[in-house]
């Protein structure tokens, strides 16, 4: 086996080998930094994670505010001058260019460029069509677009798909119709724009002034009234003499989550959120789980019965069950396929929900109350993606 001196001599004689080693080192570093950034943890709470196969209780969710990803280049390093969630405008360098991808809601699918929007105040909105927090936040973004368009606001969306089916442009077009989104939206399939803006959190918004400078950043759901105050300040900077319409303010529709609401729990990417007493039997491609006998911690789930595990969703077999404990006024499940969910509360109340086999997964309202610990039994041919709460 060659020693260190032999390896050094080989590298000196072979520039190609040296280049290959450099590429390998870059790939290792990128893997360590998780480039282009995981989309799990898109939940705005920034829940810490541990290994998905762990049979030990996970740590409690963190209350630390989400931060920008420390992966910088010449185009985005000044974003650190903005403190996400700050009540004050800052000057955080030029907004990174929007990357390659399909554009929706533009004439003929033309590319929308930030340079072409100079003179307008621009809100860059990062979201996912299946993310419940994103869908709630979209209510505010579309209201601001309607209210302030004539005052100089332009909204540009960047759709960063959480799941494979969201990368279908036809699916995204239907999702935009469902959310009443009419502003230009980039399908950021490769997450290049998400990476350049140094966020792993959906939804996220960036306010850009008329010169193309980023002035404020918000990561995660919440803070809508703060964001509106800041965008109004930028509109006043644009034209101090122009009157502004009345603020949108809080939307009085009962959809905003209460403080402390549990963030989205992705079942296939369960690091830090799954608690099982034991995962003890492998049956072909399936694993048999047992529900824990102890109390279910808040913000976690557990499995019982036979399950097929995958990278994006889990498939329940033979009347398998999941238990989830959450804080919030309601619980939803992102589920695909066809079958029946039998939902049982901690007090023993039971209701059946039929899933009718839509072409794409959809959010099913499983409990119109909370906080609670629910047990869900699955019958039929179903794919279970996530629990979300509102």
Give 120-133 pLDDT, tens digit per residue. 999 999 999 999 99
Which string of DSSP letters, residue by residue, matches 231-275?
HHHHHHHH-TTS--PPP--S--SS-SPPTTPPPPEESSS-TTTB-
Domains and CATH numbers, the chain: 77-238 (3.40.30.10), 265-389 (2.60.120.260)
pLDDT the model gives residue 278:
66
Q: Which of 11, 62, 120 is nearest to 273 (CA)?
A: 62
Closest C-alpha to 129, from 179, 195, 200 = 179
Instruction: Return averaged pLDDT per consecutive 10 residues of the chain, 390 residues in all.
Output: 43 39 36 36 31 27 74 96 97 97 96 97 97 96 98 98 95 96 96 96 97 98 96 98 96 89 90 73 82 91 93 93 96 96 96 90 94 97 96
- 278, 298, 317 from 292: Cα distances, Å: 8, 14, 19
Whole-angstrom distance, CA of residue 95 vs CA of residue 216: 11
| Residue 145: both structure tokens together | 């677009």
Look up the pTM and report it.
Answer: 0.81
Instruction: Count Cα neighbours of 43 within 13 Å in the Cβ-side half-sphere.
Output: 31
């Amino acid at each position: 086996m060659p020693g260190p001196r032999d390896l050094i001599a080989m590298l000196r004689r072979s520039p190609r080998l040296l280049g290959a080693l450099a590429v390998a080192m870059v790939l290792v570093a990128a893997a360590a930094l998780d480039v282009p950034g995981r989309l799990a943890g898109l939940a705005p709470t920034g829940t810490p994670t541990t290994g998905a196969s762990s049979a030990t209780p996970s740590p409690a969710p963190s209350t630390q505010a989400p931060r920008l990803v420390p992966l910088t280049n010449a185009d985005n390093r000044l974003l650190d001058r903005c403190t996400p969630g700050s009540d004050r405008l800052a000057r955080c360098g030029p907004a990174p260019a929007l990357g390659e991808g399909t554009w929706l809601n533009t004439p003929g699918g033309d590319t929308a460029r930030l340079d072409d929007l100079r003179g307008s105040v621009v809100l860059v909105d990062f979201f996912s069509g299946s993310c419940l927090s994103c869908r709630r936040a979209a209510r505010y973004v579309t209201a601001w677009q309607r209210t302030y368009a004539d005052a100089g606001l332009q909204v540009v969306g960047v759709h960063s798909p959480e799941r494979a089916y969201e990368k279908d442009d036809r699916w995204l077009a239907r999702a935009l119709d469902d959310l009443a989104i009419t502003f230009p939206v980039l399908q950021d399939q490769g997450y290049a724009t998400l990476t350049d803006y140094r966020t792993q959190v959906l939804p996220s918004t960036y306010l850009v002034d008329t010169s193309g400078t980023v002035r404020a950043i918000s990561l995660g759901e919440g803070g809508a009234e703060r964001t509106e105050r800041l965008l109004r300040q930028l509109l006043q900077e644009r034209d101090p003499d122009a009157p502004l319409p009345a603020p949108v303010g809080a939307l009085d529709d009962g959809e905003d989550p209460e403080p402390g609401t549990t963030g989205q729990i992705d079942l296939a990417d369960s690091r830090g959120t799954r608690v099982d007493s034991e995962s003890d039997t492998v049956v072909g491609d399936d694993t048999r789980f047992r529900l824990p006998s102890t109390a279910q911690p808040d913000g976690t789930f557990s499995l019982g019965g036979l399950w097929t595990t995958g990278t994006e969703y889990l498939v329940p077999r033979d009347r398998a069950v999941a238990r989830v404990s959450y804080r919030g006024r309601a619980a939803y499940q992102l589920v695909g396929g066809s079958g029946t969910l039998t939902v049982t509360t901690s007090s023993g109340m039971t209701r059946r929900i039929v899933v009718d086999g839509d072409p794409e997964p959809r959010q099913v309202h499983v409990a119109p109350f909370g906080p609670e610990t629910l047990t869900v039994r699955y019958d039929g041919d179903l794919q279970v993606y996530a629990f979300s709460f509102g």
